[in-house]
A = this chain, B = another copy of it.
Amino acid sequence: MKRWKPRGGNFPLLRPMSQVAGRLSIQVGAWFLQSQSGGSGILLGGVPGIRPGHVVVVGAGNSGAQAVQMAVGLGARVTVLDLDPHKLSAIDADYRGRVATLVANPANIGQATAAADLLVGAVLVPASRAPTVISREFIAGMRPGSVIVDIAIDQGGCVEGIRPTSHQAPVYREQEVNHYAVPNMPALTGRSSTLALTQATEPYLALLVEKGPAGAVAGHPDLARGVNTQAGRIMNAVVARELERW
């Protein structure tokens, strides 16, 4: 088997971390729905004879799709929203009616938010600030004790006005809703996350060791795109622009 050659353009090192965060969003959200955590006391999957909880995932990308899978696994009612009809069609085909898919226009986001027990914000635009697609007004419509998990908090969050929390104090309550916005969620499952990350980075390290930085970058445009500074200069346009603002 040839060594894996990095494929550019899709943030290969972030990808597994996004997957971890997406999966964790549901188990974390389920926890903060518990009565002892100040939540509404809803069991996501319910039990036979009562309504299950409703999980709404905004964003059907790498993180959001994992959140959908876990929410389905726990037996919740699940709705997912995205702007890309191809992503919605893919989820519809995979789940064959098990998951409701909605175009992520403001009307749909507002209605879905109001009906959510657990709302997962999973709208991330790589290398730029996340757009705030879930407005304060939408949150005002949520039932007391409901929970928001904003996976995009590392990039500013996709929930209007949300502020980062910490592993020590992971939630705050506002408008009677539990807000979870811990950056670096993968630290919750340190062992799994470390394994996933090191396996993703190892092929690049091997390249650097084998050919030296200059050689590795020269022969691998993917790696070249990842260079932030070289010889004292900032090479990455996005980073440069961000820093200029400071």
Bound CA–CA A23/B70 (angstroms): 14
Say whether A74 contacts B77, CB under 8 Å: no
Interface size for chain A: under 10, 10 to 19, 20 to 34, or 35 or more residues? Answer: 35 or more
Bound CA–CA A53/B20 (angstroms): 13
Bound CA–CA A51/B75 (angstroms): 19
Say whether A102 contacts B51, CB under 8 Å: yes
Number of copies: 6
Q: Please name the residue on chain B nearest to A152 by beta carbon.
A: B1
Say whether A49 contacts B101, CB under 8 Å: yes
Q: Which of B72, B191, B199 contacts A41 (CB 8 A)?
A: B191
Q: Give every chain B residue within 8 A of A73 (Cβ-Cβ).
A: 45, 70, 72-75, 96-97
Say whether B133 contacts A1, CB under 8 Å: yes
Q: Which of B92, B125, B158 contacts A48 (CB 8 A)?
A: B92
Q: Please name the residue on chain B nearest to A79 by beta carbon.
A: B51
Distance (whole angstroms) from the CB of A130 to the closest CB of chain B: 8
Q: Which of B4, B46, B70 contacts A74 (CB 8 A)?
A: B70
Distance (whole angstroms) from the CB of A35 to the closest CB of chain B: 4
Say whether B189 contacts A85, CB under 8 Å: no
Say whether B88 contacts A75, CB under 8 Å: no
Bound CA–CA A198/B34 (angstroms): 19
Say whether B96 contacts A69, CB under 8 Å: yes
Q: Which of B85, B131, B192 contacts A12 (CB 8 A)?
A: B85
**A148 near B: Cβ within 8 Å?**
no
Instruction: State which residues 166-184 of A face B: CB under 8 Å.
Output: 167
A residues sitting closer than 8 Å to B (CB atoms) are 1-4, 7, 12, 15-16, 19-20, 23-24, 27, 30-31, 33-36, 40-53, 58-59, 65-66, 69-70, 72-77, 82-86, 88-89, 91-94, 96-98, 100-105, 123, 125, 131, 133, 158, 167, 187-196, 199-200, 202-203
Besides A34-B188, A36-B188, 9 more A-B contacts (Cβ < 8 Å) are A1-B104, A4-B83, A7-B86, A35-B189, A43-B189, A48-B92, A49-B101, A52-B97, A77-B100
